[in-house]
Amino acid sequence: MMLWWVVDLTLCALMIALAAGSLFAATLRRRVIFFIAFGLLTAIVWARLQAPDLALAEAAIGAGLTGALLLAALPTAQPTEHKRDADRLIEWVSLLLAALLAVVLIAVLTTLLPVVDGDPSLAVTARLSDAGVSHPVTAVLLNFRAWDTLLELAVLLCATIGVLNLAPARKAPRHAGALADTLIRILLPLLILTAGYLLWNGAFAPGGAFQAGAVLAAATVVLHLGGGVRLPPFSLAQLRGLLALGLLLFLSVGLVQLAFGQALLQYPLAWAGSLILLIETGATLSIATMLSLVYLGGHPLRDWPVAGDSRDREI
Amino acid sequence: MSSLLVLIATLPLMTALACLLHPRGGDQLSLVASMIQLVASVLLVTELPSRSSLSHALGGWAPGLGIALGADPLAGWLVLLCALVQFATTLYARFYFCDSQARYRLWPLWWLLASALYALLLSGDLFNLYVTLELLGLSAAALCTVGAAKAEALEAALRYLLLGLIGSLLYLAGVALVYAEYGTLDVSALRTLISSSPASLASLVLLSSGLMIKCALVPLHFWLPAAHSSAPAPVSAVLSALVVKVAFYLLLRLWFELFTPVVTSAFATLIGLLGAIAVIWGSWQAFRATRLKLLAAYSTLSQMGYLFMFVPIVMALPEGDTRQFAYGALLLLAVSHGIAKAALFMGIGSLQQHLGHDEIDRLGGSARKLPVTLFAISLAGVALVGLPPSGAFLAKWALISSSLVSGQWWWMLVTLVGTLLAAAYLVRVLGAAFAPTAAAEPALPTCRLALQQPALLLAVLATFGLGFAASPVWDTLSLSPPEVQR
């Protein structure tokens, strides 16, 4: 008992220290590295709070991919920061406001104690047998509140299209060498296997499309960093198809139920498990594509969204 | 007829995917989809008799465990507003972007924005609303960069995105507090549950401030002028007419239906005060603006200010018919501004395309070249200022008399000053446009002129349509709030 107190207090202190580091470290690069460490620690905190699903997602997306994204976005030449007095003032005022907000929120939260894990989770447990999957988090995400998840996929799609519209992809940085290539050849199959495992596991244990998609995207990040090993060539139409696949499957499965007189997204009980797996598989592929493209920072092929031809500039 | 709800919620998503998968068909698909959506919305409004609501339990799960789509007359009319503006702007955007590559990039985002609007209006779940707000903010920021985006447009879009994210995060924190205290996210269940407590007050402040960033209420307004004025005209029209409006719709739901035991008159007065500052400051900045689009963006700021300023007036009225009447007027004002502002932005877009710039001082002679557009801009101006016979005139009149009834005469002074300033900045534009050509400027027809009719259609609707047909809109709207569904 005592031991857990020590662990928890250390976690809390570390979190605050890392948060301060990611805000105030001397250079931008150091701040990013502090931020990645902060993400990893957050994953541990979620695990400690018995939320393994969140821990997985945080480790894969929060620390892993966001970290890679931030590192890639760092300017190559360190910009010299000229802080004007006005900037410093704004910094201090916003810090003060944030601190005030934090104190008020903590005070308010204490009025809510003790938080009882009552009716909502009971309701989920009571209907879990009708959900088609035995893991409550997956049941909520893909069945009870599937509309949320469907719209979240639309959010991701929107972010990706926004990035693709802006610019072509960045040039790959070359850290390549014989060692890196060997490492990639070992790492790649393992990452793909892990993604498949997480996807399959989602039905009865922590895992699911978002985590699996993030791991799969990590595989393309690794590929991109190497340079010796390449993705097979793909066309624009295939790329657009991969982007749309997850949302399209989700929506189609949901709409088909209407034809049988059911509600939107109401899966028949016998089919629920398989339909959820189908949706999650499509979502995994789409999520992996989207996250990879966001990491690449633009469209990987020469044109987007349609192969350019000059005839096209009509009206 | 709950399948109407499903159609309205899913059709934009399907269209977005279709436009992504088949870019070359995007023009036709968008036009057809926006027509279907318009018809469906008209049907929805006619299906909704007063004091009733439709709902569709998604996945067949009861709300609380699952999520329900739902619509009452208030949501129904706003859906119709969205469908109407969307139809006109879709038609307009088809010809505004003459580069087909720009349109290929536009349509999927355009329809994702529409999905967010309709999903938000039909949602009855606090967390689901957060997801729709995320989609709304992201797609709106991404749309600002479509077309020939300049560096300043990119910067404005980035700031818009970041502030939208901060707003969403504040909203999310508020939702978490509500869930921790009451154990449900279902709006209709929360109506009876929420009582006055520290956590409720904190969540009200968090939810409100998050949404007020999205509504651009002074002092959280600084992102709006740059974002709305640097986006392409059809996008500006949707941003100014709809995106800020649905955030205001959510605030109305929160203040008048969910958090009624928590909202005090001091809170309402503070909101009204901020609104009053927005009215004066926004109108003054619009009056001083040198570019048309900036003028329109500042005008949005001041028009949103009116909506907030009238909140304490409505709240001070005793529950009952007088309050319902004023509430209806408030919503009529919101709808009227939505339609008129979309018309104004589309008209400005046509002018800008024809002249190659949108500087007010160099508008001379444009009335002769683009009479239809100038007519549309004038009519939209009538509705924005609130001259008879527009719906805005009736609404403002009703609200001013309500302010006298509730003994808050000072709001009337702000309304008068704001209205005079609005008249001044619009007359300034018209004066410049109707002046003879200063110098022979070469017209720059970069491509075929964008359609002028959509702007005219909306302007006529705002001025005459909402003016003469105000009573059915007003009646159903004013009947909808708090009593229903208790």
Q: What is the distance, to the nearest Å, from the Cα of residue A36 to the centroid of all Cα atoms in its chain? A: 14
Q: What is the pLDDT of residue B486?
A: 30
Write out pLDDT tens, residues A25-44: 888 899 999 999 999 999 99
Q: What is the pLDDT of residue B99?
A: 84
Q: Count structural domains, chain B.
A: 1
Please give the angle made by the CA atoms of B363, B368 and B371, to the nearest 5 degrees.
100
What share of chain A has pLDDT > 90, as a percent?
45
| Span A186-204, average pLDDT | 93
Enclosing H/E stretch for B68: strand B68-71
Is the pLDDT at B480 greater than 60, yes or no? no
Task: Compare CB distances from A147 to B99, B128, B180 and report the shortest one's residue.
Answer: B128
3-state SS, one letter per residue, for B201-252: HHHHHHHHHHHHHHHCCCCCCCCHHHHHHHCCHHHHHHHHHHHHHHHHHHHH
| Span B444-453, average pLDDT | 63
| Span B156-185, average pLDDT | 93
Q: What is the pLDDT of residue A312?
A: 38
Write out pLDDT tens, residues B251-304: 999 999 999 999 988 999 999 999 999 999 999 999 999 999 999 999 999 999
Q: What is the pLDDT of residue B445?
A: 54
Q: Of A105-114, B338-347, B467-476, which gets the smallest average pLDDT?
A: B467-476
Residue B413 Cα, gap to closest chain A Cα (Å): 34
| Phi and psi, residue A306, nearest 5° | -130, 140
Q: Are A173 and B89 in contact (CB under 8 A)?
A: no
Task: Compare CB distances from B180 to A115, A143, A266 and report the shortest one's residue.
Answer: A115
Q: How far apart are CA A226 and CA A218, in angstroms?
A: 12
Residues of chain B with Cβ-Cβ distance to A313 below 8 Å are 98-101
Query: Hey, is the C-beta of B166 within 8 angstroms of any chain A C-beta?
Result: no
Q: Which two tokens stand for residue B273?
A: 């005060």
Query: Can you tell me whether residue A184 is helix, strand or coil?
Result: helix
Give the dihedral sign, CA A56/A57/A61/A63.
Answer: negative
Q: What is the pLDDT of residue A116?
A: 67
Write out pLDDT tens, residues A240-275: 999 999 999 999 999 999 988 889 999 998 999 999
Q: What is the pLDDT of residue B290?
A: 92
Is the pLDDT at A118 greater than 80, yes or no? no
Amino acid at B201: L
Q: How far apart are CA B36 and CA B2, in angstroms?
A: 16
Q: Are B415 and B349 in contact (CB under 8 A)?
A: no
Residue A241 Cα, gap to closest chain B Cα (Å): 6
How many residues make up chain B in this entry?
Answer: 486
List all residues of chain A from 165 to 194 with a beta carbon under 8 Å from chain B.
165-166
Q: How far apart are CA B108 and CA A159, in angstroms?
A: 11
Q: What is the DSSP string of B81-111?
A: HHHHHHHHHHHHHHHH--SHHHHHHHHHHHH
List all residues of chain B from 392 to 451 with a beta carbon under 8 Å from chain A.
447-448
Q: What is the distance, to the nearest Å, from the Cα of residue B470 to the centroid of all Cα atoms in its chain? A: 19
CB atoms within 10 A of CB A84: 8
Dihedral class, residue B237 (left if φ above 0, else alpha if ψ from -120 to 50, else beta): alpha
Q: How confident is the model at residue B369 (pLDDT cuts 50, 70, 90)?
A: confident
Q: How far apart are CA A247 and CA B86, in angstroms?
A: 23
What share of chain B has pLDDT > 90, as a percent?
60
In a domain, B362, yes or no: yes
Residues of chain A with Cβ-Cβ distance to B154 below 8 Å are 166
Q: How confident is the model at residue A156 (pLDDT cuts 50, 70, 90)?
A: very high
In a domain, B13, yes or no: no
Q: What is the pLDDT of residue A174?
A: 61
Most confident of A231-240, B190-199, B437-446: B190-199
Write out pLDDT tens, residues B403-430: 888 888 889 999 999 999 999 999 999 9
Q: How confident is the model at residue A112 (pLDDT cuts 50, 70, 90)?
A: confident
Q: How far apart are CA B317 and CA B211, in angstroms?
A: 24
Mean per-residue pLDDT over chain A, rounded: 87
Nearest alpha carbon to residue B41 among B69, B75, B70, B83:
B83
Q: How confident is the model at residue A228 (pLDDT cuts 50, 70, 90)?
A: low
Q: What is the DSSP string of A97-164?
A: HHHHHHHHHHHHHHHHPSPP--HHHHHHHHHGGGSS-S-HHHHIIIIITHHHHHHHHHHHHHHHHHHH
Q: Are B451 and B91 in contact (CB under 8 A)?
A: yes
Is the pLDDT at B482 greater than 60, yes or no? no
Task: Compare CB distances from A314 to B100, B108, B135 and report the shortest one's residue.
Answer: B100
Q: What is the pLDDT of residue A114?
A: 75
In a domain, B140, yes or no: no
Is the pLDDT at A2 greater than 90, yes or no? no
Q: How far apart are CA B461 and CA B390, in angstroms?
A: 9
Indicate yes or no: CB of A248 within 8 angstroms of CB of B17: yes
Q: How confident is the model at residue B183 (pLDDT cuts 50, 70, 90)?
A: confident
In a domain, B298, yes or no: yes
Residue A167 Cα, gap to closest chain B Cα (Å): 11
Task: Please give the residue of chain B at the shortest CA–CA distance from A126.
Answer: B65
Q: How far apart are CA B132 and CA B171, in angstroms?
A: 12
Q: What is the pLDDT of residue A310?
A: 40
Q: Are B436 and B364 in contact (CB under 8 A)?
A: yes
Query: Can you tell me whether residue A305 is helix, strand or coil?
Result: coil
| Phi and psi, residue B186, nearest 5° | -75, 120
Q: What is the pLDDT of residue A313?
A: 34
What is chain A's alpha carbon radius of gyration, rounded to the nearest angstrom? Answer: 23
Indicate yes or no: CB of B115 within 8 angstroms of CB of A154: yes
Angle of helix B151-182 versus helix B198-215 axis, rounded to 10: 160
Residue B186 pairs in a beta bridge with: B125
Burial of A11 (0-12, 13-18, 19+ CB in 10 A): middle
Is the pLDDT at A144 greater than 70, yes or no? yes
Q: How far apart are CA B116 and CA B121, in angstroms?
A: 9
Is the pLDDT at A160 greater than 90, yes or no? yes
In a domain, B203, yes or no: no
In a domain, B312, yes or no: yes
In a domain, B355, yes or no: yes
Is the pLDDT at B483 greater than 70, yes or no? no
User: Which DSSP letter does residue A26 get?
Assistant: S
Q: Are A11 and A45 in contact (CB under 8 A)?
A: yes
Mean per-residue pLDDT over chain B, rounded: 89
Q: Which two tokens stand for residue B140?
A: 């709106």
Q: Which residues constitute the domain of residue B469?
A: 265-486
Q: What is the distance, to the nearest Å, from the Cα of residue A300 to the centroid of all Cα atoms in its chain? A: 20
Is the pLDDT at B444 greater than 60, yes or no? no
- Give me the torsion for CA of B123, B127, B129, B135, rounded to 10°: -130
Q: What is the pLDDT of residue B148?
A: 67
The half-sphere exposure of B144 on its side-chain side, counting CA atoms within 13 A, is 29
Q: What is the pLDDT of residue A83?
A: 66
Q: What is the pLDDT of residue A78?
A: 64
User: Which DSSP letter does residue A134 get?
Assistant: S
Largest Cα–Cα distance in chain B?
69
Q: Are B341 and B239 in contact (CB under 8 A)?
A: no
In a domain, B94, yes or no: no
Q: How far apart are CA B156 and CA B1, in angstroms?
A: 42
First and final CA of chain A: distance in angstroms? 74
Is the preceding peptide bond at A233 cis, omega within 30 degrees of 0? no
Is the pLDDT at B485 greater than 50, yes or no? no
